[in-house]
Structure 1
């Protein structure tokens, strides 16, 4: 959403040739239920099954949709702020319920943050070894995250999973545009920034899917649609980026289950921040 494009990857295509070196079955859907990873052969990294989004208290979205449509038609950014705030407060019912709607995004985000934790705890090579990607440690960071994406969120699945996948592709595109060097050289701050980009992009995607899907059909050109998506992205980013740093304190000491809780708190905090920026909205 943030870049309106997916990472193009290596010149030969979206997936670099070395992605074929990933252990067989690493990116396959496990087909099991439950919240945790399914069992997999030793050396493989199972795909984390996405939790379904919470739709039990979706509330009323009409006001949010109306203001988003007015934003699209007239370019009134105040209507955009109101639309997003109404989406969180009225449409989903609360920041906590909005966060629960991010089922696949939280699942992918949990696996991503576990990798970031492992880099801090054990180093890049050891962290990537858990995904059978240790041979890529000295490759460009964007290429490593792309291979990681094919492992933890392969193509296909529900719209919820598509939002998570596109969000990571957009974060990868930003990383590639910035000319980031080798993955092994990334600092903790840079990894945190990448994770925040993923979170922001997933919120963009969820908002569009829930209240903006039909409104973005109104503009007459692709450029106008891209401008609308960029404005949404900039609004969410301005609310969230730089305000989630405290949630990364002590990350290296957290268990997998604790990391999962951290990701949920990050999403709740992000929706709180987005909602608060609009002030008092009915």
Structure 2
């Protein structure tokens, strides 16, 4: 929360899934006559109909963030003791602010892509060794260096660009993950076990979801306690809550895909994010009812 990207949060009329998260269709190549391949030259007497404009995303409920924001503010004001409002904030963020787990996962566009690149590298390092995995990025000279240094060298490959809020969230989550490596006992590895791979990805997805939530309903709205220990407690409670959901989602996904091939990594990551949001909504509802 204290390290989330500086951003005033989306307006209430922002579409649930921003249009810029989709990839624009590629234009077909032109033939020598200037018309797209396979298309006859235009008939002057019967000009072609203008192309249909893409549908404008529906304007979402302008108040959809208010419930989650109010609950998160109460949780922060309690210094981390009000678990009921923490649960309400998270469950309402997923169900109402985002429009459900699938929509919430779709809002993590850059973080899902970066997560897939990170998991792809970890999978390669586990299968072929760190040096060979780094050779793909012309970084084989980094083999044998502390993992934190290796990950810093990989930053532009894992999280290219930071021009949008979405890209900034992805890069911030990656940096936070690097900081956490020492605390997880992963600072000086020459290879990754499957369990260690999952720990790194779990850390990344946790930080990405936390940053997304804080940017949407926390920044410039939630007032953190002035007491440093209380503020730390609020951050830790929120992060631990999110990590619990991510951990459960990752464990379920691994049960279905214990051996992950490179062509399935993106769909695996997408499923983890969607499952994590669904679990967080359920966990939040349980907390809210206590």
Shorter-chain TM-score tier: 0.7 to 0.9
Deviation of 1:180 (Å): 2.7
Alignment of 1:113-132 (within 5 A): 113-132=119-138
Task: Provide closer, same or farther for how the CA distance between residues 251 and 234 of structure 1 changes in structure 2, counting only shifts above 3 A.
Answer: same
Greater displacement, 246-255 / 122-131: 246-255
Q: Is the 2:245–2:277 Cα contact (8 Å) retained in structure 1?
A: no
1:71 match: 75
Give the 3-state SS of the residue equivalent to 1:185 in structure 2.
coil
Task: Provide closer, same or farther for how the CA distance between residues 261 and 56 of structure 1 changes in structure 2, counting only shifts above 3 A.
Answer: farther
Deviation of 1:106 (Å): 0.7
Task: Provide closer, same or farther for how the CA distance between residues 99 and 189 of structure 1 changes in structure 2, counting only shifts above 3 A.
Answer: same
Q: Does 1:270 align with 2:276?
A: yes
Q: Does 1:189 align with 2:189?
A: no
1:112 match: 118
Unaligned 5+ segments in structure 1 are 6-32, 36-54
**What is the distance in 2 between the residues matched to 1:83 and 1:231?**
13
Alignment of 1:127-206 (within 5 A): 127-153=133-159, 156-206=162-212
**What is the distance in 1 between the residues matched to 2:269 and 2:71?**
29
Task: Provide closer, same or farther for how the CA distance between residues 181 and 80 of structure 1 changes in structure 2, counting only shifts above 3 A.
Answer: closer
Deviation of 1:173 (Å): 1.1
TM-score, normalisation: structure 2: 0.71
Deviations 1:53-88 (A, max 9, x none): xx8676511111111111122341210111010000
Q: Is the 1:106–1:264 Cα contact (8 Å) retained in structure 2?
A: yes
2:285 match: 279
TM-score, normalisation: structure 1: 0.73
Q: Is the 1:80–1:232 Cα contact (8 Å) retained in structure 2?
A: yes
Greater displacement, 69-78 / 238-247: 238-247
**What is the distance in 2 between the residues matched to 1:223 and 1:101?**
32
2:261 match: 253
**What is the distance in 2 between the residues matched to 1:56 and 1:200?**
29
Task: Provide closer, same or farther for how the CA distance between residues 243 and 269 of structure 1 changes in structure 2, counting only shifts above 3 A.
Answer: closer
Task: Provide closer, same or farther for how the CA distance between residues 189 and 81 of structure 1 changes in structure 2, counting only shifts above 3 A.
Answer: same
1:227 match: 233
**What is the distance in 2 between the residues matched to 1:227 and 1:216?**
15
Deviation of 1:224 (Å): 4.2
Q: How many aligned residue pairs are there?
A: 233
**What is the distance in 1 between the residues matched to 2:58 and 2:272?**
21
Deviation of 1:207 (Å): 0.6
Q: Does 1:62 align with 2:70?
A: no
Which fold has the larger relative contact order, with Cα–Cα distance below 8 Å and residues 6 or more apart in sequence? 2
**What is the distance in 2 between the residues matched to 1:57 and 1:111?**
33
**What is the distance in 2 between the residues matched to 1:133 and 1:183?**
16
**What is the distance in 1 between the residues matched to 2:70 and 2:83?**
13
Over the aligned positions, Cα root-mean-square deviation in angstroms equals 2.7
Greater displacement, 222-231 / 190-199: 222-231
Q: Is the 1:120–1:252 Cα contact (8 Å) retained in structure 2?
A: no
Larger of the two Rg values belongs to structure = 2
